[in-house]
Every structure is written in structure tokens, then in C-alpha cells.
Chains A and B, each alone.
Chain A
Amino acid sequence: MSRDEAASYTDLMPSGKARRFTYEMEANSVIVRPSGGQQLDGRGFHEISGLAWSGRGKIARVDISADAGRTWRDAELQGPVHSKALTRFRAPWVWSGEEVQLQSRATDETGYVQPTRDALIAIRGMTQGPDGFNHYHGIKPWKVDRDGRVTHV
């Protein structure tokens, strides 16, 4: 067993037991625009865009929420969509000027749906392995404040 098999491809659980040979990253996505550190230039039309990927095959679908995960709608995937490959998505969005929270949620071809951060840490905890938290794939929300500043939630 190599050092990386012992450290990078294991995930320590709250029980003190560690999962081993954890190779795949499950369905994952992140909104790249707008994202943390960016500044919206005003209310009105914006295109949300980002990247989705899965270690278990092709991305089948990405949903976007502009209300902290209460309601969702389909984003458009940009081809070509390949297995285990970064897949671009985009969705039109009109910003009202109010504070909002943007989220993306990927589904891969196995039907697996990217979970919320809360659902993930409820089972796996927040304990880091030797190389950090190796398989975090929870939904990554961005807050847009009334001044258009985008920050991590």
C-alpha cells in the first residue's frame, strides 16, 4: 500500500474508522459565475454558469436555485458531455437587487444527486484526513448581497 493509498484515498469517519480505497468523486458542481469575490454590475439579467463533474460517469442534469435551495430549475448543459469530465452548464437569471443565495446541484448518469452540505456532514462528519477532506462534494452556495457582492456562505 502506497502512502497516497493510506492518506489521500482514505476518509476518516467520526467513529474513528476510516474508509479505504475511496477513489471516485461523486456527482459534484460549482457555480463559477457569479462566485465568491466577484461583483455584480447591477440588477437585471445575468447568466449563471459553472462546471459539473462525476467520477461515476456522465453528468445527466444540473439544477439551479436562486432561493437557497427552496426551488430549482434546469440549467442548460453544454456539449460535448463526456464521462468523468468537466461539463459546463448555464442558466439565465434576473437579479432583483435583493439578497439571494445561488446554488447548483448536479445529477450524474447513475441517477445520483449531489447532496447538500448538511446531508453530507450529517453522515460523514467534518473530520479531516491526513491530506484534508478528500471527498467533499456537497452543494456550494454563494450569497449575493444587496450591493452585488458575492461571498461564500
Chain B
Amino acid sequence: MFKWRTIIAASCIATAAGAADDASGRLGIGHVATIHEIAASDLTVFPDGAGLPDGKGTAIAGAAVYATHCAACHGDKGQGLADFPALVGGRGTLATGKPLLTVGSYWPYATTIFDYIRRAMPYQSAGELSADNVYALTAWILAQNNIIKTSTVIDRKTLPKVAMPNKDGFVPDPRPDIPSTH
């Protein structure tokens, strides 16, 4: 058992150092990820815009993309249908006890919209949309929530600057917060 651990650990170090970069390496298992394979998984977009690709879009362009790929589940105006969540509305409801939590009313960063659409939408065929179409859909959702104008161009520079309505609505985790004793 100890020997196997040593061998596995040694092979991991070799891979990390780039020594096992072809399939004829000592274990012959797998291959070093290519730049294209890494790029296909390297999807994280940060609040400051890091990770956003080239491309651009407006809500006007996004309306057609939304109608084709999104409206069947999220409703023609983003109002949500059945179990599929609303993307629009809910501002002013967070403290009412019956909040409508949407991208527009709840999410603190506009960049998260791009991240999630690119990563996970459309539900049945995630990954098929171009960067321009994802920017256009992001713009459409923001405009539908009256956060930007329908003519505003959304790209890697402008998206991180969009001020979301609930950007100051979050506090650090204060737990443990409930007094309890034996």
C-alpha cells in the first residue's frame, strides 16, 4: 500500500512538472490537457470582469435570441413559467416576507449573468451560444429589469460597470448567531 502511494505521488509530481506530456509516459493513462480543452472549461467570470471574452451585444439584439432559446421556459417577458424562475422583477420585495428573488432584484453582480448563461444555458443545449449572443442575452435581461437601456452595448468593459440594484444588499456570514444551550 505504501509503495503504491509513493508511485502515485511521484507520478503526480512528474505530471505537474510537465515530464509526462505524452501517452507513452510511465503509466500511459490520459494526456496533458490541451490549451483548447482548458479553454473549454475555463469559464469563470469574476465581478471585476476578469474572464469575460471578446464580443458584444445589446438588448435589441438579445430580444430575438431570447425568444428563440429562452422564452419557452422563462416566459416571453422573463416572468418565469412553472418551475422555471423569473428573470425579471421583484425590486422592493426583499424585506416583505414574500420576496421575488430574480437576477434583477437579488444578484449583486451583472457579470454573474454572463457566467451562468455561458456555462449552463440553454438548459437542453448548454454551450451552444456564441459570446455575442450571451452578451446580447445579458443585455436583454438587464434592460428588461430597467437596469440599462435597450441600446446600451454590453461587452467585457461595460458589463462589470453595471450597478446592480441589490449590490449593497449582502452582509458577511455572522454565524453562529443563535443562542442555544443544553
- CB A134 to nearest CB in B, in angstroms, measures 12
Residue-wise, chain A 1-32 has the 8 Å CB interface mask toward B (1 for contact) of 11101110010101111111111101000000
Interchain CB contact under 8 A, B182 and A63? yes
Residues of chain B within 8 A of A15, CB atoms compared? 95
B181: nearest chain-A partner, CB-CB: A113
Q: Does A95 contact B (CB under 8 A)?
A: no
Q: Is B99 among interface residues, defined by CB-CB distance under 8 A?
A: yes
At the interface with chain B, which of A77-85, A115-123, A145-153?
A115-123
Contacts of B85 in A (CB 8 A): 130
**Minimum CB–CB distance for A147 against chain B, Å:** 33
Q: Please indicate the chain A residues that have their CB under 8 angstroms from the CB of B180 in the complex.
A: 112-116, 119
CB distance from B34 to the nearest CB of A (A): 25
- Minimum CB–CB distance from B105 to chain A (whole Å) comes to 10
Q: Are the CB atoms of A14 and B95 closer together than 8 Å?
A: yes
Chain A nearest CB from B51 CB (Å) reads 11
Given A26-B175, A113-B182, verify A127-B116 contact (CB < 8 Å): no
**Residues of B in contact, count (CB < 8 Å):** 33
Known: A12-B101, A130-B85. Is A119-B178 also a contact (CB below 8 A)?
Answer: yes
Checking B46, B172, B178 against A123 with a beta-carbon cut-off of 8 angstroms, the contacting residue is: B178
Size band of the A side of the interface?
35 or more
**Using Cβ atoms and an 8 Å threshold, which residues of chain A touch B18?**
none
- Asked if A10 and B170 make an inter-chain contact with CB atoms under 8 angstroms apart, the answer reads yes
Docked-complex contact A2 and B112, CB < 8 angstroms? yes
Q: Give the nearest-CB partner of A16 in chain B.
A: B95
Find chain B residues with CB under 8 A from A63 CB: 182
Query: B residues within 8 A CB of A22?
Result: 173, 175
User: Which of A2, A12, A15, A17: most chain B Cβ within 10 A?
Assistant: A2
A120 adjacent to B178 (CB under 8 Å): yes
CB-CB under 8 A for A19 and B97, given A2-B115, A3-B120, A123-B177: no
A sample of 21 cross-chain residue pairs with beta-carbon separation below 8 angstroms, ordered by A number, consists of A1-B46, A1-B109, A2-B44, A2-B115, A3-B119, A6-B106, A12-B99, A16-B94, A16-B95, A16-B99, A17-B170, A19-B172, A19-B174, A19-B175, A20-B108, A20-B172, A23-B173, A72-B182, A113-B180, A120-B178, A130-B106
